[in-house]
Amino acid sequence: MAKKYVYFFGGSKAEGSAKMRELLGGKGSNLAEMTSMGIRVPAGFTISTEVCNEYYQNKENYPPELDKQVRENIKKVEKAMGAKFGDKEDPLLLSVRSGARVSMPGMMDTVLNLGLNDTTIEGLVKKSGDRRFAYDCYRRFVQMYGDVVLGLKPEEKEEDYFEVLIEKKKKDRGVKLDTELTADDLEDLVRQFREMIHEKTGAEFPDDPYQQLWGAITAVFGSWNNRRAIEYRKINKIPDHWGTAVNVQSMVYGNLGDDSATGVAFTRDPASGEKRFYGEFLVNAQGEDVVAGIRTPRPINRESKKDDKLVSLEEEMPGVYRELEEVYQKLEGHFREMQDLEFTIQQGSLYLLQTRTGKRTGFAAVRIAVEMVEEGLISKEEAVLRVAPEQLVQLMAPVFDQEEKFKAIKGNRLLAKGLNASPGAASGKVVFSAEDAIARAGEKTILVRLETSPEDIGGMNVAQGVLTARGGMTSHAAVVARGMGKPCVAGCGELDINYAKKEFVVRGESVREGDYISIDGIGGEVIKGELKTYPSEIVQVLVNGTMKKEDSLLAQQFLALMSWADDVRRLGVRTNADTPRDARVARGFGAEGIGLCRTEHMFFGGNRIDSVREMILAEDLDGRRKALEKLLPMQREDFVGIFKEMDGLPVIIRLLDPPLHEFLPHKDEEIEEIARTLGVTPEKLQAKVVSLQEYNPMLGHRGCRLGISYPEITEMQARAIFEAAVEVSKAGIKVIPEVMVPLVGDVREFVNQKEVIVRVAEEVMRDSGLSKADGFKYMVGTMIEVPRAALTASAIAREAEFFSYGTNDLTQMCFGFSRDDADKFLPGYVERGILPAPPFQTIDREGVGELIRMGIEKGKAAKEDLEVGICGEHGGDPASVEFCHQVGMDYVSCSPYRVPIARLAAAQAVLKQRK
């Protein structure tokens, strides 16, 4: 039997279902599901994602069985809709759309009204009784087909041939709007379009409906690999091999007069997560008009209204609205998830064109997940899986101080108000193009556009926030900004943007490129000048204590979700913190200890750096000891502060790691000044700087190599740690210090340093007068960041009490990539698909991961209770956290603000593994 490539849906029967998302894509599987649920969906069929993959594997050829299956399904659609494809009396018209496993809004191509030609147009005229409508369809079809299938879509700065002809026609006819053109005008435009296409492409516009259909199908499959789609997949980590399905569906018309409409809706508020039906619609329009943001749509119901002048669907077509309400409740109940719907009303009849899981902000994600648990719709574990860890960033992102913002507004600095399309506060310099944003990537910028399009994604990625003049909550800018967790104010129609002058004017005020503005993605305000950003509600409740938990629903819901995550996760979550302040923040976010306290940062504060330099310049051991003695009390105080904050929790302190030259000045004028401070000649300092220079400092005299060369440094640091531990122990604080030796590659390096540490610990304990009962336990362990350490982990584990993976350096050495230099080629690597993701962001499982796995296996085999964690930046990356769980680490450690992300990711890792 031939392989099945095509799946029909229509009437109330469907060959597919929601479970077949991988094969049929999100759109196709849900169309099938809705059909089976008895919801009114225009009949159609889905060509599976397998065809996409086979097409590309087979040098862009289709499986031979496909043509027959498509023809059979066309017959079924004809039967369901009572019209015939290519028929001159009652022609069936089709839409052809992409549909990948996950939504990639606006990334791929669509062709509507397919099946029209000079014969079938007459049937459509007769059938609709509206010649202007019919020719408007024909005009749209030829234009869309020309753009998408025949390749006339204008790239930036290219001429849009179709628009030129339309403009000319409008000018000739002395009208301003498209809608003012008559049926004859449109008929003439169709003729002009077809001639122009012939001229530009050298081929006649295809009249054969099947030829049209195959052209559109091929265009959709082809769009899977267009530049925008590839870029989108890269940003969103969607594998290339997923492929897209193609949905061929009979047309329904939202543009058949004032009893027709098209719209989109969310079953809950995608910005706040509030439980209310929320959406927008346009009367007498086709679906693409809403998403494109060209006309500002109207609210779907009274509740959604922001502007009293706009009449809602609830008010205008109450019957249809009630039907829509029933549908949305049915869908949310069925999918047990917030839905994003597309619907069309054709002459009073409601059709559903799509339902899918709705994108949402981090705020909404938490609220919806928690409230759905309260409603009994989903389990706590499902709730934990419903929030992408990365989304939590939004909850912790800074906001404007309401007072300051209010003052700015009172002070006439409010430039405009738009839609609060994506939450968060941002200030930055205005730029008017994605390129300019990228060029100023080092600065804070706000990208200001009439509307955004997929070409702008790169620029949105580097900007602090996005401001658009057109488009609603579901416009491209809004959807993408929410996905990125960037503040966005959209549809701010008052802005008069002039790209050429790099300026916008609003309420008589001119804002030029480089001027500061501030946007509030929660309130929708656009404010002139820079506004300071302030801690979010979560931070105020959990960290600063400046807000009570009782006053913050968000904080309560956040804590509920986090507690469910904590119930599930096996991995501990610690933090990387070098100061008491960082430690406090992290503890507020739920850190269960410090996984990495870097001592070198402490060497820079105040006049400590002078003592450090004195040590480096010392001629002999005595000189070094003298300088180190000055550092001792200061280091001790650092540790006292941190130990106090972490009362009862373990604190891993890493001994000095960077090469000594990092503490010396390198510019001539600095050298002179510092030599004066230190009381040495500039020549001597210069000579030291030169003698410490290295060809490859990354692989140089640093880490434990320093401690081995200068054991007195290790001694001082160990003394500071243990004296601090004694001090706080005496104050009744429970301290669990874990001393960590960096850059160990051989067990004998570790043993060398461990001997110094243990000796000092014993001395300090003995001299402390602390009784056994009042004393504290400590551990001595090592970073695993040199490949050789992972390879020889058995030997090291016999000596070390804990391992902490330093995956930044491990990645550098495993790949042979210098992080400081790799920017010259690494972006190209990701673009060319040589690497799936930048390995400094997400752990490379194949290579670096293999070393990690091996090190843990060998280490735990040698010492069963070996404590193993990670303290590289990967510790806060959800995909990497999942890997850490899989390989059996005991904890991850990450920066304070990523602690909740790691907690959630750790819980999800458990739940995903169970599946």
Give the residue numbers annotated as catalytic, written as ranges. 476, 871
By CB under 8 A, name the one of 129, 203, 816, 915 that touches its own copies. Answer: 816
Separation of CA 707 from chain center = 41
Q: Which stretch binds its own copies (CB under 8 A): 331-339, 524-532, 822-830, 887-895?
A: 822-830
Residue with tokens 């909850």: 395
Q: What 8-state DSSP symbol labels residue 602?
A: G
Closest approach of Cβ 125 to its own copies, in Å?
55
Q: Which is nearer to its own copies, 590 or 707 (CB)?
A: 707
At CA 756, angle to CA 752 and CA 758, rounded to 5? 110
Residues 793-812 touching its own copies, rule: CB under 8 A, are: 795, 809, 812
List Cα–Cα distances, 253 to 122, 146, 207, 257, 265, in angstroms. 17, 21, 22, 9, 18
Residue window 419-438: x/- pattern of binding to its own copies, with contact defined by CB under 8 A: --------------------
Burial 545-560 (b: 16+ CB within 10 A, else e): eebeeeebebbebbbb
Which distant-in-sequence residues (6+ apart) come within 8 Å of 105 by Cβ? 291, 476, 479, 480
Q: Which is nearer to its own copies, 280 or 785 (CB)?
A: 785
Q: Which stretch binds its own copies (CB under 8 A): 217-225, 311-319, 449-457, 696-704?
A: 696-704
Residue window 741-780: x/- pattern of binding to its own copies, with contact defined by CB under 8 A: --x-xx-xx--x----------------------------
- Phi and psi at residue 584, in whole multiples of 5°? -65, -45
Q: Which is nearer to its own copies, 424 or 872 (CB)?
A: 872
Residue window 48-77: x/- pattern of binding to its own copies, with contact defined by CB under 8 A: ------------------------------
Q: Indicate the burial class of 690 (C-beta count within 10 angstroms; 0-12, 13-18, 19 or more).
A: exposed
Q: Which is nearer to its own copies, 772 or 832 (CB)?
A: 832
When asked if residue 821 is in the footprint of its own copies (CB under 8 A), the reply is: yes
When asked if residue 709 is in the footprint of its own copies (CB under 8 A), the reply is: yes
Q: What 8-state DSSP symbol labels residue 542?
A: I
When asked if residue 852 is in the footprint of its own copies (CB under 8 A), the reply is: no
3-state SS, residue 582: helix
By CB under 8 A, name the one of 580, 658, 700, 775 that touches its own copies. Answer: 700
Closest approach of Cβ 471 to its own copies, in Å?
39
# residues contacting its own copies (CB under 8 A): 49
By CB under 8 A, name the one of 89, 167, 180, 694 that touches its own copies. Answer: 694
Whole-number Å distance between alpha carbons of 485 and 907: 22
When asked if residue 701 is in the footprint of its own copies (CB under 8 A), the reply is: yes
Tell me the residue ranges of DSSP E strands in 509-603. 509-512, 516-520, 525-528, 533-534, 572-576, 594-598
By CB under 8 A, name the one of 165, 678, 791, 830 that touches its own copies. Answer: 791
Question: Are 879 and 855 spatial neighbours (Cβ–Cβ below 8 Å)?
Answer: no
Question: Are 752 and 708 spatial neighbours (Cβ–Cβ below 8 Å)?
Answer: yes
When asked if residue 697 is in the footprint of its own copies (CB under 8 A), the reply is: yes
Residue window 550-569: x/- pattern of binding to its own copies, with contact defined by CB under 8 A: --------------------
Which distant-in-sequence residues (6+ apart) come within 8 Å of 779 by Cβ? 737, 738, 739, 801, 802, 867
Q: Which is nearer to its own copies, 21 or 624 (CB)?
A: 624
Closest approach of Cβ 748 to its own copies, in Å?
4
Question: Are 830 and 837 spatial neighbours (Cβ–Cβ below 8 Å)?
Answer: yes
3-state SS, residue 354: strand
By CB under 8 A, name the one of 340, 638, 844, 890 that touches its own copies. Answer: 844
Q: Which is nearer to its own copies, 254 or 745 (CB)?
A: 745
Whole-number Å distance between alpha carbons of 78 and 84: 5
By CB under 8 A, name the one of 632, 835, 862, 911 that touches its own copies. Answer: 835
Q: Which stretch binds its own copies (CB under 8 A): 143-151, 178-186, 842-850, 868-876?
A: 842-850
Q: Which is nearer to its own copies, 874 or 898 (CB)?
A: 874
* DSSP per residue, 454-505: GGGHHHHHHSSEEEESS--TTSHHHHHHHHHT--EEE--TT-EEETTTTEEE
Closest approach of Cβ 792 to its own copies, in Å?
5
Which spans of this chain sit near its own copies (rule: CB under 8 A)?
694-701, 705, 708-709, 743, 745-746, 748-749, 752, 785-788, 791-792, 795, 809, 812-818, 820-822, 824-825, 828-829, 832-835, 844, 846-848, 850-851
